[in-house]
Amino acid sequence: MFKQNYHSSLLQSAVDELASLPGVGRKSALRFALHLLKQPKENVEKFGRSIINMREAVLYCSNCNMISDTLLCKVCSDLKRDHSLVCVVESIRDVLSIENTLLYNGLYHVLGGIISPMDGIGPSDLSINQLIKRVEEGSVTEVFLALSTTMEGETTAYYLYKLLNRFSIKISTIARGVGFGDELEFTDEVTLGRSIQNRQPFVPLKQ
């Protein structure tokens, strides 16, 4: 690849680092670096420090593995939430997405990935044993698998189902169907087929 000369080794290494961010090319990285160069020193110091601090001092909840300021996260230590319901997700980001809906009141379990032999990720790389232990403790009555509808997601869900099936708990998964705002014409056959098989009672909007 063509190696740009940045005229300054300091600029060069800042661009190199910024270009390591996901989806950021060298052009955007240069734009970021030149933007930072124009900011007051204190602001740039704060910028760099906040990132270093986050990585140094971050905590993960000892119960659900969610990112947290405390040993037990806000969700797990909230007595108003339903501690008998555990939603299993792949990542921290999924917890944030589900929390954004304001429609879930149970706890979480962050797996830290999904089973993906192609990427060399097996069940032992995920926090599956920890999940089983939580169920063994006895207070969980439902495990809600909220994994991606990809091959890897389905494989992981099936693997967890086989492990959890021996407990007398409910195992549920997120509803699959045609998304809001989607047109039937452009919906793939699998989604459309499943949403016909799993058709639901019609509920008028005004009730």
127 with 89: CB under 8 angstroms?
Answer: no
Per rule CB under 8 A, is residue 100 in the interface with a copy of itself?
Answer: yes
CA distance 143 to 16: 43
Among 25, 62, 69, 138, binds a copy of itself (CB under 8 A): 69
67: Cα separation from own chain's centroid: 11
Residues 177/187, Cβ–Cβ less than 8 Å: no
With binding defined as CB under 8 A, does residue 105 bind a copy of itself? no
Footprint of a copy of itself on residues 118-177 (CB under 8 A)?
none
Select from 25, 47, 133, 182 the one that contacts a copy of itself (CB under 8 A). 47
Residue 195 contacts residue 176 (beta carbons within 8 Å): yes
**Crossing angle between the packed helical segments 151-164 and 128-136, to the nearest 10 degrees:** 30
The CB-of-35 to a copy of itself minimum distance in angstroms stands at 5
Minimum gap (Å) between residue 10 Cβ and a copy of itself: 4
Name the site residues for a copy of itself (rule: CB under 8 A). 4-11, 13-14, 16-18, 20-24, 28, 30-37, 39, 41, 44-59, 66-69, 73-75, 91-93, 95-96, 99-100
